[in-house]
């Protein structure tokens, strides 16, 4: 086991390589990534995660979300869960874990805690999974649009952009709202730390617009206009 910093442990066990964050820093336990482990009391997530995500009970009095990486599109019909090996830092799980840990250090009020990331290498390919903190009593934006303040959603998106993170799929299911009306951003697969220019900001907002229009119809489009307006009003360096 290697201590990378005060918050992260790297454990190598056979083909498995795992990053653990505190408070989950521990010796390797591959059963944490096995939804059939009865101790996890895994419950399949009904929406999102490409049918490869579970709510789980962790051995630290905390609930998590276990998600395996699955391919989409045409490639996903042939190769379901293998990715080309291009180094540990380029694995989907490692990269997402690192971005989320950075966001947790900067805007913890909007991003769940990453707890563990795993990859299993098979020569020139690998499979991967990640465990993140489960935020209790949340609903996706797609299902509670009329109950959410567009200003709060704009604030969360702007906070992410202001610390230099671009979200790869900012849709109506990757924005959650809890019982206290706090907005959470999730699913940072393929997200990147970048210099956030106008084009990248607009790209994230337009992706959300398309998603809201698709799942909520015209009301979603009108609601997005309020989000976009609030974002521009709050943006300190708007053009």
What whole-number distance in Å separates Cα of residue 109 and Cα of residue 159?
Answer: 10
Mention every residue, 6+ apart, whose C-beta is less than 8 A from residue 215.
Answer: 142, 172, 173
Catalytic residue among 29, 34, 169, 226: 169
Closest CA to 138 of 106, 96, 89, 184: 184
User: Running DSSP on this structure, what letter comes out for residue 134?
Assistant: P
Cβ 130 vs Cβ 117: under 8 Å? yes
Between the alpha carbon of residue 156 and those of residues 127, 162, 227, the distances in Å are 31, 10, 11
Residue 97 CA to residue 95 CA, distance in Å, equals 5
Annotation says 169 is catalytic: yes
Active-site positions read: 169
């Amino acid at each position: 086991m290697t201590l990378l910093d005060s918050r992260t442990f790297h454990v190598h066990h056979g083909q498995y390589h795992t990053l653990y964050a505190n408070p989950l820093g521990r010796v390797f336990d591959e059963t944490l990534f096995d939804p059939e482990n009865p101790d996890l009391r895994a419950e399949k997530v009904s929406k999102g995660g490409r049918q490869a995500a579970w709510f789980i009970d962790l051995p630290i009095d905390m609930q998590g979300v276990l998600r395996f990486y699955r391919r989409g599109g045409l490639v996903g019909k042939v190769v379901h869960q293998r990715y080309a090996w291009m180094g540990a830092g380029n694995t989907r799980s490692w990269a997402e874990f690192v971005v989320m840990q950075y966001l947790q250090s900067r805007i913890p009020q909007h991003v769940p805690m990453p707890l563990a990331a795993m990859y299993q290498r098979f020569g020139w390919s690998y499979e991967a999974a990640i465990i993140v903190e489960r935020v209790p009593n949340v609903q996706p934006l797609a299902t509670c649009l009329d109950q959410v303040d567009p200003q709060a959603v704009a604030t969360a998106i702007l906070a992410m952009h202001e610390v230099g993170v671009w979200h790869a799929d900012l849709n109506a299911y990757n924005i959650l709202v809890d019982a206290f009306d706090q907005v959470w951003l999730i699913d940072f697969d393929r997200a990147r730390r970048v210099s956030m220019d106008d084009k990248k900001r607009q790209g994230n907002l337009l992706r959300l617009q398309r998603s809201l229009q698709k799942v909520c119809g015209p009301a979603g489009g009108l609601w997005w206009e309020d989000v976009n307006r609030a974002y521009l009003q709050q943006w300190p360096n708007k053009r």
